[in-house]
């Protein structure tokens, strides 16, 4: 099958429990449409039996394709690997846990038939822990405050791209990928649909707090340079306050007002030092991002392709 109407891209990492589950769900949904399709699994360096189960699935159904990466590169590089190897006139990527209903694919395809180039899923409700909901809310508020390209609150990694959008995204040479911002940046005709996010039925999420924090910082750094200007402004204000403190100390000395100079020096020194460290931290984030970009390494390395014709 060289060309199909729709490619379903599913990145995964150690998700052996969800492979058959996701496959059956996608087949059930796609049976309700007349569009031809392929299911492209991108194995992002799994160390369990996921790849072997995928091999068995490709023998069972020729519509199933597999791209196996040489190690774990992350969700966004895995999605891009899927986009680069899919054959569809449009492509839809979604998580293998199916927490956002795969039934939304039908509505997304309908939007695509009506001329939309990008269809994004937004979560109406999140049936998750209070901590997860609070941190998600805080993240979207922060990134929308600093970003030039706004990111919708509760935007899922569940999106449809028309072929011309896929080609445009693949032409972007950023090594650090942040699809939410890049999708907004490329433009085209976009729309959003809403679905509920349900609890995971099988397996455990591979996203811990450290990974979420890394993605969040990457999203901010790759989206805007405003924090660098804010860091300069904060440094200027702190130095201005320090200068005012020095003047006050001078006046108190001239007026021979009794005071303990240590009480003034401690907050001035602490505030100045904290500001310097904060500014250096922001600059360091951007330097690290620039360093990764200029190294020019590939976004991912493919170890193996199964059932894919080049």
Residues 206 and 236 occupy one common structural domain: no
Task: Of 57, 90, 85, 56, give the one whose Cα is nearest residue 69.
Answer: 85
Residues 258 and 204 occupy one common structural domain: no
CA separation (Å) from 229 to 222, 233, 234?
15, 6, 9
First-to-final CA distance of the chain = 12
* Per-residue pLDDT tens digits for 2-34: 688 999 999 998 888 889 898 999 999 999 998
Residues 68 and 13 occupy one common structural domain: yes
Residues 115 and 238 occupy one common structural domain: no
Rounded (10°) CA dihedral 128, 133, 135, 140:
130
Distance CA 82, CA 67 (A): 7
Residues 154 and 283 occupy one common structural domain: no
Residues 199 and 235 occupy one common structural domain: no
pLDDT of residue 101: 85
Residues 107 and 208 occupy one common structural domain: yes
Tokens of 140: 């979207």
Question: Which three-class secondary structure state does DSSP give residue 287?
Answer: helix
Domain tally, the chain: 2
Distance CA 267, CA 265 (A): 6
Across 46-55, 218-227, 256-265, the highest mean pLDDT is recorded for 46-55
pLDDT at residue 75 greater than cutoff 60: yes
Cβ atoms of 100 and 197 within 8 Å: the answer is yes
* Per-residue pLDDT tens digits for 182-236: 787 788 898 888 887 776 555 565 555 555 555 556 655 556 556 666 666 666 6
pLDDT of residue 147: 56
Q: Where are the alpha helices (DSSP H) in the chain?
A: 19-30, 50-60, 75-85, 104-113, 130-146, 163-171, 179-186, 209-223, 226-254, 261-294
Cβ atoms of 236 and 279 within 8 Å: the answer is no
Residues 61 and 86 occupy one common structural domain: yes
Distance CA 276, CA 159 (A): 41
Average the pLDDT over 138-159 and give the result: 64
Question: Which three-class secondary structure state does DSSP give residue 113?
Answer: helix
For residue 244, name the pLDDT band (cuts at 50, 70, 90). Answer: confident
Distance CA 267, CA 93 (A): 52
User: Domain residues for 89?
Assistant: 4-224+298-306
Residues 172 and 280 occupy one common structural domain: no
Distance CA 176, CA 156 (A): 19
pTM of this structure: 0.68
Residues 172 and 24 occupy one common structural domain: yes
Distance CA 169, CA 185 (A): 10
CA separation (Å) from 17 to 53, 78, 102, 198, 204?
10, 19, 17, 17, 10
Residues 186 and 209 occupy one common structural domain: yes
Between β-strands 37-43 and 88-93, what pairing exists: parallel, antiparallel or unpaired? unpaired
Residues 268 and 177 occupy one common structural domain: no
> Residue 76 belongs to a domain with what CATH number?
3.90.550.10
């Amino acid at each position: 099958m060289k060309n199909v109407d729709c490619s379903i891209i599913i990145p995964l990492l150690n998700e052996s429990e969800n492979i058959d589950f996701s496959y059956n769900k996608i087949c059930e949904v796609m049976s309700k449409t007349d569009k031809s399709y392929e299911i492209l699994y991108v194995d992002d360096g799994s160390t369990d039996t996921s790849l072997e189960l995928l091999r068995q699935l490709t023998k069972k159904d020729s519509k199933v394709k597999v791209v196996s990466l040489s190690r774990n590169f992350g969700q966004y590089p895995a999605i891009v690997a899927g986009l680069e190897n899919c054959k569809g006139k449009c492509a839809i990527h979604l998580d293998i846990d199916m927490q956002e209903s795969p039934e939304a694919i039908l509505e997304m395809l309908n939007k695509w038939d009506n001329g939309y180039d990008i269809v994004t899923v937004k979560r109406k409700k999140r049936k998750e822990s209070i901590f997860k909901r609070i941190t998600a809310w805080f993240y979207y508020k922060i990134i929308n405050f600093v970003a030039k390209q706004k990111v919708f609150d509760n935007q899922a990694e569940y999106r449809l791209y028309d072929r011309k959008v896929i080609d445009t995204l693949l032409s972007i040479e950023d090594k650090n990928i942040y699809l939410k911002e890049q999708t907004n940046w490329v433009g085209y005709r976009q729309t959003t649909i809403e679905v509920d996010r349900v609890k995971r039925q099988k397996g455990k999420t591979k996203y811990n707090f450290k990974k979420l924090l890394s993605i969040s910082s990457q999203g901010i750094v790759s989206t805007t340079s405003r924090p660098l200007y804010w860091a300069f402004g904060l440094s200027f204000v702190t130095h201005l306050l320090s200068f005012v403190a020095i003047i006050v100390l001078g006046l108190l000395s001239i007026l021979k007002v009794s005071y303990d100079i240590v009480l003034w020096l401690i907050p001035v020194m602490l505030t100045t030092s904290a500001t310097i460290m904060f500014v250096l931290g922001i600059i360091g984030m951007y330097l690290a991002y620039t360093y990764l970009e200029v190294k020019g390494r590939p976004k991912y390395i493919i170890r193996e392709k199964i059932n894919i014709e080049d």
